[in-house]
Amino acid sequence: MTGLIAAATSAADKRKAFRAGLGSGTLQRLPGAFNPLVAKLIQEIGFEGVYVSGAVVSADLALPDIGLTTLTEVAGRGQQIARVTDLPVLIDADTGFGEPMSAARTVTVLEDAGIAGCHLEDQVNPKRCGHLDGKAVVPADEMVRRIRAAASARRDPNFVICARTDARGIEGLDAAIDRAKAYVDAGADLVFTEALADESEFEKFRAGIAVPLLANMTEFGKSDLISATTLQDIGYNAVIYPVTTLRLAMYAAEAGLRQIAEEGTQAGLLDRMQHRSRLYELLDYERYNEFDSGIFNFRIEGSGS
């Protein structure tokens, strides 16, 4: 029954794999999973990791991404997602949920949740999406304390501490690079270069920083949508597509709900739905017969199947 209810790969092995991936020269692609089922899809399709987005955890609760969610809520979602995937999970820890000592506690809680790494950003509280105007950052030395505290709290040295700088949109690119250098000196393993504009800025960041770099290819934001091949050629080590699956799903859900409201039936929507049989395949439903041979003993029939 290994790997059925939960993924078989241990958290320690996932962290090792994430470290190795970041050092491999191959871009690690981490789409955001808005739930554990999407994480299974991400693994099946062949991505290198799974991202858990703060914006998505918030939106899922019908809240804006302004630091309203708690560590317990975020870690809980992360744990549910990490449990079902063999891939490493990188999670968005916003500003660390408080003072540097809270950032330290955040790391211990996320380690216990089976997460492979987290990013902490240098925004003030309340934070906002990094692609909006009107952001503010804390002084660099305060963020340095955040990162030091987080790095010192690790029990597994392979847990990846990623420092995100939001400074590009506030203090400019050179200042953002200087901040990132200070965060690396404080113990960051990976740098999240938030809201850069175009390829030339990604190149400039790459030239300035010695540790692995992560690009955020979020839609409708301040960064050009650069392909994975180009990011890899520039020398980036990881990319997240944080809100993409939620945007796709919500778009489809809205269109479908409007059609049902108008037409009084979903009959015209079946070819735009995940089929029951595909859902069951993704869930490994049939394998539950390993527990009890009476579990999967039906055929999928009925309307539209």
Ligand X SMILES: C[C@](O)(C(=O)O)[C@H](CC(=O)O)C(=O)O
CB-closest chain residue to ligand X: 53
CA distance 171 to 249: 35
- Annotated active-site residue 94? The verdict is yes
131 interacts with ligand X by CB under 6 A: yes
Contact 162, 240 (CB under 8 A): no
For the CB of residue 29, give the shortest distance to Mg ion in the complex, in Å.
Answer: 18
- Catalytic, out of 105, 118, 216, 247: 216
- In this chain, which stretch among 49-57, 68-76, 145-153, 198-206 interacts with ligand X, using CB under 6 A? 49-57
216 interacts with ligand X by CB under 6 A: yes
Contact 123, 95 (CB under 8 A): yes
67 interacts with Mg ion by CB under 5 A: no
For the CB of residue 164, give the shortest distance to Mg ion in the complex, in Å.
Answer: 8
Tokens of 171: 């203090």
Q: How far does Cα 178 stand from its chain's mean position?
A: 25
- Catalytic, out of 77, 105, 154, 164: 164
Q: Which of 227, 65, 182 is nearest to 130 (CA)?
A: 65
Omega prior to 100 cis, within 30 of 0:
no
Contact 95, 125 (CB under 8 A): yes
Contact 129, 216 (CB under 8 A): no
92 interacts with ligand X by CB under 6 A: yes
Contact 253, 34 (CB under 8 A): no
- Annotated active-site residue 194? The verdict is yes
104 interacts with ligand X by CB under 6 A: no
Which are the catalytic amino acids? 51, 65, 92, 94, 119, 121, 129, 164, 194, 216
Residue ranges binding Mg ion (CB under 5 A): 54-55, 92
Residue ranges binding ligand X (CB under 6 A): 53-55, 65, 92, 129-131, 216, 218, 221, 242-243
